[in-house]
Amino acid sequence: MAIIEAGNGIVTHINVFTTTPERQQALVDSLAETVRAASEVPGWISASIHRSFDGRQVVNYVQFESHDAAQRVTRHLLAGGYIQRNTQLGTVTPGQYEVVHTLSNTDN
């Protein structure tokens, strides 16, 4: 389960893929396989895959216990060809983040 709270040290990767409507489901399927492989690496926490209604974007929200864990997962996925396959299905804008503020309807 995704943990979204400020100040907990969790590292979040948010990868925004641009694709075509014809390739969107293939990219979603490929990312689902990728996160299953990533989940085998110690330090991986969670992943959530989102697709746009227009078929042109897929967003992958992934969490790790630390920067070291994120690097271990990335090396594992590169060695297995997962990242290369995903980038054949869409162009990616990757980013690494920390949560600095949250608000929900249960905070009142």
Domains and CATH numbers, the chain: 11-97 (3.30.70.100)
Q: Looking at residue 108, what is its pLDDT?
A: 67
* pLDDT tens for each residue of 44-77: 999 999 999 999 999 999 999 999 999 999 999 9
The residue-averaged pLDDT of 89-105 equals 93
pTM: 0.92
CB contact set of 15 (below 8 Å; sequence gap of 6+): 59, 60, 62, 92, 93, 94, 95
